[in-house]
């Protein structure tokens, strides 16, 4: 197959044959009855759900009117099968957003203390929540240890400690996906590049900027976050009595401080992240794609 044939095939695969303008998509679900249909599908014990059962669940007597609203959702948000109706991914996404509170909840909570100490001044750390963003920061010197989106639903039925743990897991997940080139929001392609022109929310001057080419989602990170699940890094810590799964990312200096990350080459770019622990130091060299090229262990004694 020629290169032109390959390009032609790629274009055919990516071509959208039944796309809906975003404004039209929002108009479709901006209706109480249609949202009720999606919520009824979500609440159903088994799916697909029959037409009559859906209509009964939302309490609409007029079958024709119910069918009108249901057909507005069909194709983009729900799919019809021989056994009834079920979600398409977009329909599930809408309901999950409602459950998460992104559309209808705007809670605030007072700052609360979290584990660890500030990498800049060794002061205490606290979590602050505002406008669906949770931030870890030092109240004494103001140094940031990360600020990322956290849906309001994540606060429900959790203690402050559990909220902090959920935030830690969420941040790890977001950065893992972005570094692997997958958008956490739309699963589109994410492009990443190394920047040295200012501090991000993690206090890192040398940072990684991630941006989705499809939906525009952006995320910045310290290069060290990429190493949290790397096998050599995990074993290095485990051999010295530390389980990285049990340590919030903000308590690991190489995840939130410039001191442990340096650009050692520019063409092509190479990063070195130092991870000191128990008298030894693991040194990881990463390329511009955040792939680990090599690791070495040096004694600090």
Per-residue model confidence as pLDDT tens digits over 126-185: 999 988 899 999 999 999 999 999 988 888 888 999 999 999 999 999 999 999 999 988
Q: What is the extent of the structural domain holding 44? A: 14-100
Here the tokens at position 287 are 């390329």
The number of folded domains in the chain is 2
Q: Helix or strand or coil: residue 229?
A: coil
Domain boundary among 66, 84, 100: 100
Per-residue model confidence as pLDDT tens digits over 14-52: 444 445 454 455 566 667 888 888 888 888 888 899 999
Residue 192 covered by a domain: no
pLDDT (0 to 100) of residue 204: 72
* Bigger pLDDT: 185 vs 188: 188
Residue 124 covered by a domain: no
Residue 85 covered by a domain: yes
- Judge whether residue 6 has pLDDT over 50: no
- Label residue 37 exposed, middle or buried (CB < 10 Å: 0-12, 13-18, 19+): buried
Residue 138 covered by a domain: no
Residue 110 covered by a domain: no
* Residues 6 or more apart in contact with residue 181 via CB below 8 angstroms: 189, 190, 191, 192
Domain boundary among 71, 100, 129: 100
**Are the C-beta atoms of 262 and 206 separated by less than 8 Å?**
yes
Residue 271 covered by a domain: yes
Domain of 70: which CATH number?
A: 1.10.10.10
Q: Please give the helix or strand (H or E) that residue 96 lies within, else none.
A: helix 89-100
Domain boundary among 100, 122, 148: 100
Residue 281 covered by a domain: yes
**Are the C-beta atoms of 115 and 126 separated by less than 8 Å?**
no
pLDDT (0 to 100) of residue 24: 55
Per-residue model confidence as pLDDT tens digits over 209-255: 999 998 888 998 889 999 999 999 999 999 999 999 999 999 999 99
pLDDT (0 to 100) of residue 21: 52
Residue 203 covered by a domain: no
Question: What does the alpha-carbon distance between residue 104 and residue 279 come to, in Å, rounded to a whole number?
Answer: 51
């Amino acid at each position: 197959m020629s290169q032109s044939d390959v390009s032609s095939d790629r274009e055919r695969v990516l071509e959208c044959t039944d796309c809906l303008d975003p404004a039209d998509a929002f108009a479709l679900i901006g209706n109480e009855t249609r949202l009720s249909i999606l919520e009824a599908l979500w609440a159903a014990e088994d799916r697909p759900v029959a037409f009559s059962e859906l209509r009964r669940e939302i309490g609409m007597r007029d079958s024709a009117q119910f069918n009108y609203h249901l057909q507005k959702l069909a194709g983009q948000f729900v799919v019809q099968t021989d056994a009834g109706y079920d979600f398409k991914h977009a329909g599930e996404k809408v309901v999950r957003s409602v459950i998460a509170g992104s559309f209808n909840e705007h809670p605030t909570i007072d700052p609360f203390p979290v584990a660890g100490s500030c990498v800049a001044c060794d002061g205490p750390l606290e979590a602050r929540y505002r406008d669906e963003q949770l931030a870890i920061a030092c109240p004494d010197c103001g140094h940031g240890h990360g600020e990322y989106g956290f849906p309001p639903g994540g606060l429900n039925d959790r203690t402050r400690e559990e909220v902090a743990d959920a935030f830690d897991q969420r941040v790890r997940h977001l950065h893992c996906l972005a570094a692997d080139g997958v958008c956490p929001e739309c699963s589109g392609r994410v492009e990443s590049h190394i920047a040295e022109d200012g501090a991000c929310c993690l206090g890192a001057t040398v940072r990684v900027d991630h941006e989705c080419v499809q939906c525009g989602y952006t995320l910045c990170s310290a290069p060290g976050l990429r190493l949290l699940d790397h096998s050599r890094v995990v074993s290095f810590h485990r051999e010295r009595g530390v389980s990285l799964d049990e340590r919030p990312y903000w308590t690991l200096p190489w995840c939130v401080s410039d001191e442990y990350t340096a650009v050692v080459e520019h063409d092509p770019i190479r990063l070195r992240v130092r991870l000191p622990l128990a008298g030894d130091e693991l040194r990881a060299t990463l390329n511009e794609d955040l792939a680990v090229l090599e690791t070495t262990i040096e004694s600090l004694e």
